[in-house]
């Protein structure tokens, strides 16, 4: 095995790794972890116990900053922190300054940018892109190829369907005024967004609010309201049996949720 494990890295009992793995200095990996082939763990990263990391995944990557970007280079860079009992798929990239809790499934080809916080028991689907300065709570489900723009907040029990697109820039990259108004989306507890919907900058989906498939959200979605269309407008009220409070048993399943 042509792996390179720093002498300054700490590897827990019963942790195994494949070929061509690179573990940089000051990395700490807990017990009973399993790393695939070609995995790269950058300096200082902390990983808990019982974590599976599949082939070609990178954890702790430093961001790149263009001279034209509104983002500035990080003055300091806190290492990535990955909790216990996580499953991380193949070709995943998790940047530095990410904090990820326990019992999450992060599927193949997902990307999680710097300064993102993810809680516990979440499912991050294949090809999901989560930009920087995003907060995601607990027991959310983000499905294949959805895009969560920077400066967004998702509370608990949120559902984001495949190919959902979000935005944080009302100025479409023009006019210096835009620098004062960057704001992602907010999805309050139990909010749901349907297949291929688009949510414009600064919009809030309130508790148990629903956005129907293919809709374009230009105004906030009120609590327990279903919006539909382009632009989205109130279509109905969420049925009583669909409210989060009446589905907590299903949504509070443990490890088997992932």
CA–CA separation, 103 and 226 (whole Å)? 31
Q: Are residues 122 and 182 in the same domain?
A: no
170-217: pLDDT as tens digits: 767 776 766 666 799 999 999 999 999 999 999 999 999 999 999 999
**190 closest CA partner among 160, 165, 168:** 160
Q: Is residue 146 part of a domain?
A: no
Q: Is residue 148 part of a domain?
A: no
CA–CA separation, 217 and 221 (whole Å)? 8
Sign, CA dihedral 154-59-163-133, equals positive
Q: What is the pLDDT of residue 148?
A: 98
**132 closest CA partner among 146, 144, 149:** 149
CATH number at residue 246: 2.160.10.10
Q: Do the Cβ atoms of 12 and 32 come closer than 8 Å? A: yes
Q: Are residues 111 and 15 in the same domain?
A: yes
Beta strands in 45-190 (DSSP E): 46-47, 52-53, 58-61, 81-82, 87-88, 93-95, 99-100, 105-106, 111-112, 117-118, 123-124, 129-130, 135-136, 141-142, 147-148, 153-154, 159-160, 165-166, 186-187
Rounded to two decimals, the pTM is 0.93
Q: Is residue 241 part of a domain?
A: yes
Q: What is the pLDDT of residue 172?
A: 73
Pairing of strands 22-23, 210-211: unpaired
Mean pLDDT by groups of 10 residues along the chain of 258 residues: 91 97 98 98 98 98 82 78 98 97 98 97 98 97 98 98 94 69 92 98 98 98 98 97 92 61
Q: What is the pLDDT of residue 255?
A: 54
CA–CA separation, 122 and 165 (whole Å)? 19
Q: What is the pLDDT of residue 249?
A: 85
> How crowded is residue 24: how many other Cβ atoms within 10 Å of its Cβ?
18
What is the count of structural domains for the chain?
2
Q: Are residues 124 and 2 in the same domain?
A: yes
Q: What is the pLDDT of residue 256?
A: 46
Q: Is residue 22 part of a domain?
A: yes
2: domain range? 1-62+78-130
Q: Are residues 5 and 103 in the same domain?
A: yes
Q: Is residue 92 part of a domain?
A: yes
Residue 14 three-state SS? coil
Q: What is the pLDDT of residue 258?
A: 40
Q: What is the pLDDT of residue 170?
A: 78
CA–CA separation, 240 and 227 (whole Å)? 16
CA–CA separation, 169 and 150 (whole Å)? 10
Q: Are residues 188 and 126 in the same domain?
A: no
Q: Are residues 120 and 1 in the same domain?
A: yes
Q: What is the pLDDT of residue 66?
A: 80
Q: What is the pLDDT of residue 131?
A: 97
Q: Is residue 219 part of a domain?
A: yes
Q: Is residue 151 part of a domain?
A: no
Q: Are residues 117 and 14 in the same domain?
A: yes
């Amino acid at each position: 095995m042509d792996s390179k494990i720093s002498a300054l890295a700490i590897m827990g009992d019963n942790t195994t790794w494949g070929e061509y793995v690179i573990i940089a200095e000051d990395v700490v990996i807990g017990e009973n972890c399993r790393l695939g082939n070609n995995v790269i763990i950058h300096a200082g990263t902390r990983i808990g116990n019982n974590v599976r990391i599949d082939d070609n995944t990178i954890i702790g990557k430093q961001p790149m900053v263009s001279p034209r970007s509104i983002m500035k280079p990080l003055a300091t860079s806190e290492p990535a922190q990955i909790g216990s009992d996580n499953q991380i798929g193949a070709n995943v990239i998790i940047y530095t300054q990410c904090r990820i809790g326990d019992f999450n499934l992060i599927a193949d080809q997902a990307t999680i940018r710097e300064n993102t916080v993810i809680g516990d028991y979440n499912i991050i689907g294949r090809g999901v892109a989560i930009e920087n300065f995003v907060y995601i709570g607990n027991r959310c489900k983000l499905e294949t190829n959805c895009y969560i723009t920077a400066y967004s907040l998702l509370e608990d029990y949120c559902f984001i369907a495949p190919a959902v697109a979000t935005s944080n820039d009302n100025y479409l990259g023009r006019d210096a005024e835009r620098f004062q108004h960057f704001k992602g989306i907010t999805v309050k507890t139990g909010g749901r967004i349907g297949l291929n919907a688009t949510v414009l900058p600064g919009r809030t989906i309130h508790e148990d609010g629903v956005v129907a498939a293919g809709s374009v959200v230009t105004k906030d979605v009120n609590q327990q309201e279903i919006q539909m269309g382009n632009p989205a407008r109130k279509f109905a009220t969420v049925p009583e049996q669909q409210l989060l409070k009446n589905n907590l048993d299903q949504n509070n399943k443990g490890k088997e949720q992932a």
